Structure 1
Amino acid sequence: MATEQLSPRDRTRRLYALLTEQPLSLYATAVLRIGYGLLYLGFLLREFPHRDEIWGPGSPWTPELAAQLYDQTGWASILALSESRTYFELCYALAVVTSALFALGWRTRAVSVLFALVVASFHSRSIFMTDGGDNLILLMAFYLVLTACGQRWSLDARRAARHGATGDGRTTAPAGQLRYARTTLVTVLHNCGLIVIAVQVCFLYGSAGLYKVQGGTWGSGTAMHYVLNLELFRPWPALSQIADEQTVLLAITAYGTVLLQVAFPFVLFGRLKYPVLTMLLGMHIGIAVLMGLPLFSGAMIVADLVFLPDRFYLALRRLCGRAARRTVRRAGPGKPTSQASEGLPTTALLPQQGGAKGPVENGLRASPLPSPPSSTRPPTTAP
């Protein structure tokens, strides 16, 4: 059967429609929002006992040294505005609250900007006191500002479902045209931000793999031996020693790491990406355990989740729902806990579940915009 040949003009129209009419991978961006919000929240709570030495007035990296670095890099930090301990504690509390609200998806559009400001401020205040994981979180915090990451699995989505769909504003009235223009702008920014995130992850893996190819230790398969013997990255010396004794396995791991990273950008358009993402997940878990870099590994694992389509997250939601219902049945009879019994719309938590049926482009799943309500009958919701 002959395939349809599209002219360059038709391809341009299809690409334009893809970027302007339907937001891509809304569930994936929601997972990124939740993942990075919780990750940074855990990071701040983990370093709470050491916050003064890392970012506060008692840090060896004094505000004067930070100011000299700002002159060279152009960065800035709200933490450098005052050396008062009270001001620092307030900023730290603000960072904790902002990370929690960002993960929950409360007023996501405004909170995402505040979250990016918080991450940038803490990153630039003491850039030499943390590991490389916060570098990726910093980039993703800025990219997520462009996306509509609060339209799924968020308090914003729950509130929007309670108020019902408002349509896309495709009318002739000035207010409707303005609403439609805003919806189109949000869609374009979301899709462009999502593409930038995907390209960033591809460049990260590709450049890391090509950099390893240039090293003699990776070519000889002995790189993992030297990694496991670095004192700075041996949180479990006994475990590192046991792993170091597996010579053949270490050589296979070294070659496999290079192959996975170099091939990653080229397997995203087929089903081969699923086993590759699974192997990368195992690699990052190994890095977190053996090298003691949970923040870096967590940031990479969350970034990889952007390449999973919306149908994956919908299927995962259904599996979790069935598991929860089985748990309730085993616990015995009790008060019904369905959304309908609580007087909430059935789409309160996950509105627009049909979004997984949109077209697929570049390995990203499209989710359609809400349909406009009928002009003769008001929209209805489940009781």
Structure 2
Amino acid sequence: MNHIFRDWRRFWFRPTPSGPLGLFRIVMGLLVLVNACILFPERGVWFSEHGVLTSNEAAIYQANYTSGPRVIHLLRNAGDEWLTAFFVIFILASICMTVGLWTRPSIFLVALGLNAIHNRNPIVNTTGGDCVMLVMTIYLMLAPSDASCSLDRLWRVLKGREGRIAPRVTPWAQRIMQLQLSLVYACTFIGKVQGKAWANGTAIYYLLHLPEFYRFPTPRIFSENMLMINVMTYSALGIEMTLAWLVWVPRLRLYVLAAGVLLHLSIEYTMNIPLFSFLMIASYIPFLTQDDLTHFQNWLVRTIRLTPLRLVYDGECDFCRSALLFVRFFDVFGLVEFLDSRDPAQLALAPEVSAKDAELAAIAVSPKGRTYPGFFAFREIVRRTPAFWLLTPFLYIPGVPQAGQSVYKWVTENRSRLPVAPRYKVKA
């Protein structure tokens, strides 16, 4: 019994790396943001009193077709001005949730908004995806979602409260997310096997021939061949069953999740159900471990052929050290090695750079010994930083490097007057 209790406590409360939780918050925040942007242009159609469903009609619909009390009615009898203000706040909160700024309050506002949308117009939400989005958002609000991959954590790093490695967190809320996902698939599987179409292997045929959900054409060998229909129907049931139970087997976990991804990508291809498949795939992230993320990062680095970089900087410049805190924070691949030019032992690791040159500008050195001073060092770092990949093409536009060098020169000349991280102010 002692072993059982020990394993039980470890399952819920043994600290684990916070990387998967931070990644899940980012992905779920992006999906909430996309959902909000889809609804915003037609907010009057779906949620106003002159739209497709008035508040009274929505209440009658919910009373007849869905059970349970509904307390939050922020959009009941909403006018156009309030609808606009609501969605603006909702979109801003989803952005803050994604980047991890004021993380818990922003997630609370997102959950509040999702609940209000869900309660106001049930016909907007017909796939269960909105329920997954709402429930997972509530769990993220309860979890330490800002422990990794968040601007809140960056601020704590700048203040000297945390180091480069994100802290480990108690995983009880993440475990509830995992159990919730398994429960969703278990209920789905049990409900389907009780239906004749799923039991006799023909359910997929009807799904592929629903015109209201049609998206892309399916080859006739899949949509008309009954043998293939049987295979796809029972495969879908089998995958859902494994996602309910076998996903908890460590050796099978990644294989089961991969099968689930393939299932939902096929649904996304054949059926027009906005965001549903992406929401379900995103909900697999809590099942990932930090080792899984590390292996993926290493694979990505090899695939796109990113090389390490040595960055020589002036270690007596507080502004330079403050800037490097940002670089370290966003260097998720760990490709940048930082060398203090004031330390002879470290400077010896970059013989291509002299201490005098490093006083004038930070200098990046490639594995082949090529040097990139100033703006070009910044550009090389951006190329190796996923958070800024969208910025990379802009930095190669003709004229931008020249302007960048001018800006960098101004920063170098005025660095003693520029703000520094709070941790260095305290030290000073």
TM-score, normalisation: structure 2: 0.66
Q: Once the 2 structures are TM-superposed, how far is the Cα of residue 82 of structure 1 from its aligned partner? A: 5.0
Paired position in structure 2 for 1:106: 101
After TM superposition, list the pairs within 5 Å mapping 1:232-251 onto structure 2. Answer: 232-236=212-216, 238-239=217-218, 243-251=222-230
Structure 2 Cα separation of the partners of residues 54 and 246 of structure 1? 40
Please tell me the root mean square deviation across aligned C-alpha atoms, in Å: 3.4
CA contact (8 A) 1:28 1:310 kept: yes
CA contact (8 A) 2:100 2:152 kept: yes
Provide, for residues 154-189 of structure 1, a one-character-per-residue CA deviation record: whole Å limited to 9, x for no partner.
Answer: 11122222222369xxxxxxxxxxxxxxx9xx955x
Structure 1 Cα separation of the partners of residues 174 and 269 of structure 2? 30
Q: Which moved more, 1:296-305 or 1:12-21?
A: 12-21
CA contact (8 A) 1:113 1:145 kept: yes
Letter in 2 for 1:271: R
Paired position in structure 2 for 1:47: 39
After TM superposition, list the pairs within 5 Å mapping 1:1-383 onto structure 2. Answer: 8-9=1-2, 11-13=4-6, 15-16=8-9, 19-20=12-13, 22=15, 24-67=16-59, 73-80=68-75, 82-132=77-127, 133-165=129-161, 191-236=171-216, 238-239=217-218, 243-264=222-243, 265-320=245-300, 326=306, 342-344=323-325, 347-349=328-330
CA contact (8 A) 2:264 2:280 kept: yes
Q: Once the 2 structures are TM-superposed, how far is the Cα of residue 271 of structure 1 from its aligned partner? A: 1.8
Letter in 1 for 2:325: L
Q: Once the 2 structures are TM-superposed, how far is the Cα of residue 17 of structure 1 from its aligned partner? A: 5.8
CA contact (8 A) 2:247 2:257 kept: no
CA contact (8 A) 1:105 1:150 kept: yes
Paired position in structure 2 for 1:173: none
Q: Once the 2 structures are TM-superposed, how far is the Cα of residue 307 of structure 1 from its aligned partner? A: 0.9
Structure 1 Cα separation of the partners of residues 13 and 267 of structure 2? 39
Structure 1: state its 5+ residue gaps. Answer: 1-7, 168-182, 354-377
Structure 1 Cα separation of the partners of residues 47 and 220 of structure 2? 34
SS at 1:271 equivalent: coil
Q: How many residues align?
A: 321
CA contact (8 A) 2:24 2:282 kept: yes
CA contact (8 A) 2:246 2:252 kept: no
Q: Which moved more, 1:281-290 or 1:41-50?
A: 41-50
Provide, for residues 304-342 of structure 1, a one-character-per-residue CA deviation record: whole Å limited to 9, x for no partner.
Answer: 12111111113333444566773899xxxx999xx9793
Q: Once the 2 structures are TM-superposed, how far is the Cα of residue 201 of structure 1 from its aligned partner? A: 0.7
Structure 2 Cα separation of the partners of residues 21 and 220 of structure 1? 45
Structure 2 Cα separation of the partners of residues 37 and 345 of structure 1? 22
Structure 1 Cα separation of the partners of residues 249 and 174 of structure 2? 16
Structure 1 Cα separation of the partners of residues 2 and 308 of structure 2? 55
Q: Once the 2 structures are TM-superposed, how far is the Cα of residue 65 of structure 1 from its aligned partner? A: 2.7
TM-score, normalisation: structure 1: 0.73
Provide, for residues 40-59 of structure 1, a one-character-per-residue CA deviation record: whole Å limited to 9, x for no partner.
Answer: 11112123332211123332
SS at 1:47 equivalent: helix
Greater RCO structure (CA 8 Å; 6+ sep): 1
Q: Once the 2 structures are TM-superposed, how far is the Cα of residue 299 of structure 1 from its aligned partner? A: 1.0
Structure 2: state its 5+ residue gaps. Answer: 314-319, 335-422
Relative to structure 1, the CA distance from residue 246 to residue 26 in structure 2 (aligned partners, 3 Å threshold; closer, same or farther) is farther
Relative to structure 1, the CA distance from residue 240 to residue 319 in structure 2 (aligned partners, 3 Å threshold; closer, same or farther) is closer
Provide, for residues 110-130 of structure 1, a one-character-per-residue CA deviation record: whole Å limited to 9, x for no partner.
Answer: 111111111111111111223
Q: Once the 2 structures are TM-superposed, how far is the Cα of residue 147 of structure 1 from its aligned partner? A: 0.6
Structure 2 Cα separation of the partners of residues 228 and 18 of structure 1? 41
SS at 2:130 equivalent: helix
Relative to structure 1, the CA distance from residue 315 to residue 58 in structure 2 (aligned partners, 3 Å threshold; closer, same or farther) is farther
CA contact (8 A) 1:143 1:193 kept: yes
Structure 2 Cα separation of the partners of residues 263 and 65 of structure 1? 40
Paired position in structure 1 for 2:412: none
Letter in 2 for 1:239: T
